[in-house]
């Protein structure tokens, strides 16, 4: 097993992975692209507090509403475009798309799908999780080989900055056709507005 968030969006990755093993099963975790872009910005902001505002980075021209698709925080969420590249090398049946939202609301259900996809016995169930209200995420009741609970690290679950709702709506409108295409390509409706 190998993982990195950048594989899905790296143009050369599908060909390289295919050349190593055409039978590789791929798991891609996706979330609402607007929330994902804001989360990406929040992570960068935590490292570089002097960067421009999310709103100013989102647009090439805010007056006309032209979205800056060269900004990586926007580019990554155009999932249909990235998937097209993967489908040149892998059949859709070898790719499982996991909902980031359902990983929070129903982690055992999503991990059940992962276990099924990998042909594994379903071992991970609801009894392995509890919801941590402080983090806003589910946590493992105890990590493997430990008697202590395990939650995501401090870089996960950061409070996002308040973003102008008009900008959020413009992004929703921008992503909508790409999301619809992604739903058709995957046969899965993720429920993003």
User: How many Cα atoms occupy the beta-carbon half-sphere of 156 within 13 Å?
Assistant: 12
Distance CA 158, CA 146 (A): 26
Q: Is 122 annotated as a binding residue?
A: no
Q: Is 157 annotated as a binding residue?
A: yes
Distance CA 60, CA 39 (A): 20
Q: Is 19 annotated as a binding residue?
A: no
Q: Is 24 annotated as a binding residue?
A: no
Distance CA 104, CA 127 (A): 15
Smallest CA-to-CA distance from 97 within 12, 8, 1 is with 8
What phi-psi label fits residue 13: left (phi over 0), alpha (psi between -120 and 50 degrees) or beta? alpha
For residues 7 and 13, the answer to whether their CB atoms sit within 8 Å is: yes
Q: Is 146 annotated as a binding residue?
A: no
Binding-site entries: 31, 39, 156-160
Binding-site entries for 3'-phosphoadenylyl sulfate: 31, 39, 156-160
């Amino acid at each position: 097993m190998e993982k990195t968030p950048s594989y899905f969006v790296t143009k050369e990755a599908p060909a390289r992975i295919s050349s190593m093993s055409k039978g590789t099963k791929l798991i891609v975790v996706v979330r609402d692209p607007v929330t994902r872009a804001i989360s990406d910005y929040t992570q960068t902001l935590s490292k570089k507090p002097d960067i421009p505002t999310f709103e100013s980075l989102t647009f090439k021209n805010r007056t006309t509403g032209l979205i800056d698709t060269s900004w990586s925080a926007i580019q990554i969420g155009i999932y249909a475009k990235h998937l097209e590249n993967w489908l040149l090398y892998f059949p859709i049946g070898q790719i499982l798309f996991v909902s980031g939202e359902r990983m929070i609301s129903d982690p055992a259900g999503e991990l059940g799908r992962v276990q099924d996809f990998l042909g594994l016995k379903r071992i991970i169930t609801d009894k392995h999780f509890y919801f941590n209200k402080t983090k806003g995420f589910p946590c493992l009741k105890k990590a493997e080989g430990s008697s202590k609970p395990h939650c995501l690290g401090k870089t996960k679950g950061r409070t996002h900055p308040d973003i102008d709702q008009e900008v959020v709506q413009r992004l929703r409108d921008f992503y909508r056709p790409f999301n619809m295409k992604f739903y058709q390509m995957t046969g899965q409706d993720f429920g993003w507005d």
